[in-house]
Structure 1
Amino acid sequence: MTLLEGRPGEGPEGRRTAGRLRGRLRRTLLAGLIAAAVAVPVSAAASPDVPAPIPASPAEGAAPREVYAANLGNVAEAARMARDAARTGRADRLHAMEAEGAAQFLAFDGRGRGRAVEVFGDLETADRITVLVPGSDTSLDTYQRFRAGAVSLQQRLKAEHARSAVVAWLGYDTPGTISATVLTADRAQEAAAELAPFLRRLEQLSVPEARVSLLCHSYGTVVCARTATGPKVGDLVLYGSPGTGAASAAELPTGARVWAGRGGDDWIGRVPHVRVGAVGFGTDPVVPAFGARAFAAGPGGHSDYLKPGTESLDSLARIVLGTPEAPRA
Structure 2
Amino acid sequence: MSPGQRAEALVVAIDHAESRAAAVGRRIAESAEDLDMVARRLGGAVAGDGIGSGAAVGGMADEGGWSGHAGARARSRAADAAAEARMVSGNCLYVADVLRAEGARLARAVISWSDDELAAPGTGDTMAVGEADRGLAKRLREAADHLTGHTDPATRPCIDLSGSTDDDPRAVAEVWHGLGPADRARLARDHPELGSVDGLSSATRDAINRTRLRRLLDAADTGAGGDGLAGAARGLSALAAHLEADPRRHLLDLHPDGRAVVASADPDTADRVVTLIPGTGSSLDTLDRTGERVDAMCEAAASGLEGAASNPGAAGWTPDAAVESCVAVSWQGYDAPADVATAGSSTAPARAHAADLRTFAAGLDAVERRDGDDAPHVAVGYSYGSAVLGAAAEDPGGLAADRMIHVGSPGAGVDSIAGQRVDEVGVARAAGQDEVVGVASRWDPVPWWSITGVLGGRPGTGEFGGLAVDVTEPDSGADSVRSAHSRYFDPGTVSLDEIGRLIAETD
TM-score (norm 2): 0.47
Q: Quick one: which of 246, 250, 255 aligns to 2:414?
A: 246
Aligned length: 275
Query: Secondary structure of 1:225's match?
Result: helix
Structure 2 residue 323 is matched with structure 1 residue 174: no
Contact preservation (8 Å) 1:260, 1:295: yes
Identity %: 26
Contact preservation (8 Å) 2:402, 2:506: no
Can you list the C-alpha shifts for 1:247-302, whole angstroms capped at 9, x where unaligned?
A: 33233234341100212442304536213xxxx12433343343221124234622
Query: Secondary structure of 2:299's match?
Result: helix
The more displaced of 230-239 and 185-194 is 230-239
Match of residue 353 from structure 2: 191
One-letter amino acid of the counterpart of residue 185, structure 1: T
Match of residue 133 from structure 1: 277
**Structure with the greater relative contact order (CA < 8 A, sep ≥ 6): 1 or 2?**
1
Contact preservation (8 Å) 2:471, 2:494: yes
The more displaced of 207-216 and 178-187 is 178-187
Q: What is the CA–CA distance in structure 1 between the aligned matches of 2:353 and 2:335, rounded to whole Å?
A: 8
Contact preservation (8 Å) 2:361, 2:400: no
Structure 2 residue 461 is matched with structure 1 residue 287: yes
Contact preservation (8 Å) 1:120, 1:154: no
Match of residue 387 from structure 2: 222
Q: What is the CA–CA distance in structure 1 between the aligned matches of 2:398 and 2:456, rounded to whole Å?
A: 26
Contact preservation (8 Å) 1:189, 1:226: yes
How far residue 81 of structure 1 moved from its aligned partner, in angstroms, is 4.9
Structure 2 residue 489 is matched with structure 1 residue 306: yes
Query: Secondary structure of 2:173's match?
Result: helix
Match of residue 65 from structure 1: 203
Query: Secondary structure of 1:273's match?
Result: helix
How far residue 104 of structure 1 moved from its aligned partner, in angstroms, is 0.8
Contact preservation (8 Å) 1:30, 1:64: no
Can you list the C-alpha shifts for 1:58-97, whole angstroms capped at 9, x where unaligned?
A: 5999764343233234334444555566878546524422
Q: Go from structure 1 to structure 2 and tell me whether the alpha carbon gap of 1:305 and 1:27 turns closer, same or farther (over 3 Å shift).
A: farther
Task: State which structure, 1 or 2, has the greater radius of gyration over its C-alpha atoms.
Answer: 2
1:85-104 correspondence runs (5 A): 89-90=234-235, 93-102=238-247, 103-104=249-250
Q: What is the CA–CA distance in structure 1 between the aligned matches of 2:246 and 2:417, rounded to whole Å?
A: 41
One-letter amino acid of the counterpart of residue 251, structure 2: F
Contact preservation (8 Å) 2:392, 2:399: no
How far residue 28 of structure 1 moved from its aligned partner, in angstroms, is 5.1
Q: Go from structure 1 to structure 2 and tell me whether the alpha carbon gap of 1:76 and 1:94 turns closer, same or farther (over 3 Å shift).
A: farther
Q: Go from structure 1 to structure 2 and tell me whether the alpha carbon gap of 1:204 and 1:117 turns closer, same or farther (over 3 Å shift).
A: same
One-letter amino acid of the counterpart of residue 338, structure 2: G
Match of residue 35 from structure 1: none
Structure 2 residue 449 is matched with structure 1 residue 271: yes
TM-score (norm 1): 0.70
Match of residue 29 from structure 1: 173
Match of residue 210 from structure 1: 375
Match of residue 144 from structure 1: 288
One-letter amino acid of the counterpart of residue 410, structure 2: P
Contact preservation (8 Å) 1:200, 1:230: no
The more displaced of 284-293 and 126-135 is 284-293
Q: What is the CA–CA distance in structure 1 between the aligned matches of 2:175 and 2:264, rounded to whole Å?
A: 18
Q: Go from structure 1 to structure 2 and tell me whether the alpha carbon gap of 1:219 and 1:283 turns closer, same or farther (over 3 Å shift).
A: same
Q: Go from structure 1 to structure 2 and tell me whether the alpha carbon gap of 1:308 and 1:184 turns closer, same or farther (over 3 Å shift).
A: same
Match of residue 261 from structure 1: 439
One-letter amino acid of the counterpart of residue 462, structure 2: P
Contact preservation (8 Å) 2:259, 2:283: yes
